Amino acid sequence: MPEIAALQPQLVQQFSQIVANQRLSQAYIFNGPSGTGKAQLAEWLAMRLFCTNVQAGQPCGECPECQRVRGGNHPDVVWLTSDAKSIKVDDIRALKAEMSKSGVEGTQRVFIVTDADKLTAGAANSLLKFYEEPVPGMTIILTTTAKNQLLPTILSRAQVINFPAPARAQVQVELEAAGVEPRLAAVAAHLTVDVTAGVAMAEDERFAARLKAVLTLVGKLTQGDAEAFVLVQTTLVPLAKTLPEQQQLLAMLALAYADALNAHYQVPLPGAFGDDATIAALAGRASRQLSDGLAHILATQIRLGQNVTFQSALEALVLQLL
């Protein structure tokens, strides 16, 4: 992953000026896709506030204060990060206990909640007290990929900073520079803008297997071959055991139809599959079939999150696409 100054230079410059002019707000929401540097900028901001050797408005990254922030060991920089599906009231209770304490080494304190869209309604309401009774010198940053899932009362009490995603071509270049095969890098760059996640994705041998299986399925669908239905149980389901893997497989299928639709209309956009012959054949189908097919895939992605089994959802989708 590039340094935050290279990934989001305008936001770094903006916050450098904000801190220099002592105009830091007490609450921010960093909103944007995964991999756009939200947590990195939060860390940079904490280093900037505590650095003892600021140079040209930038934290040095080398002093003991910067090193403690970067290592997650600074007593006045508190992170709340959860691998669970949701952030519950108990998690926020512990955070608020920290908020009630005075700064260990000064008046400035920074609290960072990552993936804040995972806050339950109870947890979000519990956090509201901070917004209603802010403590001087305290800054809270929520990072999210879906700001609309946050309570309106939280959104209205914080400054929302939107993080633009890097161009997919740039992500692909960085993936290839990291050693990812160009064919896999092109698809991975369309599935995530997070270079670290993209590399991990491509290094999983099952990623390439899923890609091959999706293209095989597309070939059968283009030919109207009923064997496409059989592929669901024999090939596709065994390659996607977990929900993230199932979502990834459906996303690949959606990319295939999107690429074909663009090729059908001769839209000059770089696709995920390049000049793949299977996609070119799919592009030869009627535009209505392609647009309806893409709509069916997107609807299936939604159904997958509604306690529908992957196999039944995919079988129903294949019948629609046939």
- Please, which residues have CB within 8 angstroms of residue 252's CB and are 6 or more apart in sequence? 187, 191, 210, 211, 214, 272
For residue 261, tell me if it sits in a domain: yes
pLDDT for 103 equals 65
Residue range 233-251, pLDDT digits in tens: 999 999 999 989 999 999 9
Rg (CA), the chain: 23
- Does the pTM surpass 0.75? The reply is no
In 3-state terms, what secondary structure has residue 238? Answer: helix
Domain edge (last residue) among 162, 195, 226: 162
pLDDT for 107 equals 78
Question: What's the CA gap between 175 and 115, in Å, rounded?
Answer: 24
Residue range 123-170, pLDDT digits in tens: 999 998 888 877 888 999 999 999 999 999 999 999 999 999 888 888
Residue range 136-149, pLDDT digits in tens: 889 999 999 999 99
Residue 167: count of CB within 10 angstroms of its CB:
12
CATH (domain of 149): 3.40.50.300
For residue 195, tell me if it sits in a domain: no
* Whether residues 158 and 9 fall in one domain: yes
The boundaries of the domain holding residue 267 are 204-321
Domain edge (last residue) among 147, 162, 177: 162
Strands 159-162 and 109-113: unpaired
CATH (domain of 308): 1.20.272
Residue 23: count of CB within 10 angstroms of its CB:
8
For residues 117 and 148, the answer to whether their CB atoms sit within 8 Å is: no
* Whether residues 155 and 11 fall in one domain: yes
Phi, psi at residue 76, to the nearest 5°? -105, 15
* Whether residues 30 and 125 fall in one domain: yes
Does an H or E element contain 223, and which?
A: helix 205-223
Report which of 170, 189, 161 is spatially closest to residue 38, judged by C-alpha positions. Answer: 161
How many separate domains does the chain show?
Answer: 2
pLDDT for 1 equals 43
310-321 vs 287-304: helix crossing angle, rounded to 10 = 170
* Whether residues 152 and 208 fall in one domain: no
Burial 207-221 (b: 16+ CB within 10 A, else e): beebbebbbbbbbbb
Report which of 186, 184, 139, 177 is spatially closest to residue 158, judged by C-alpha positions. Answer: 139
Average pLDDT for residues 199-222, to the nearest whole number? 95
The one-character DSSP state at 160 is: E
For residues 180 and 67, the answer to whether their CB atoms sit within 8 Å is: no
Does an H or E element contain 227, and which?
A: helix 227-231
For residue 46, tell me if it sits in a domain: yes
For residue 217, tell me if it sits in a domain: yes
In 3-state terms, what secondary structure has residue 133? Answer: coil
Domain edge (last residue) among 162, 191, 217: 162
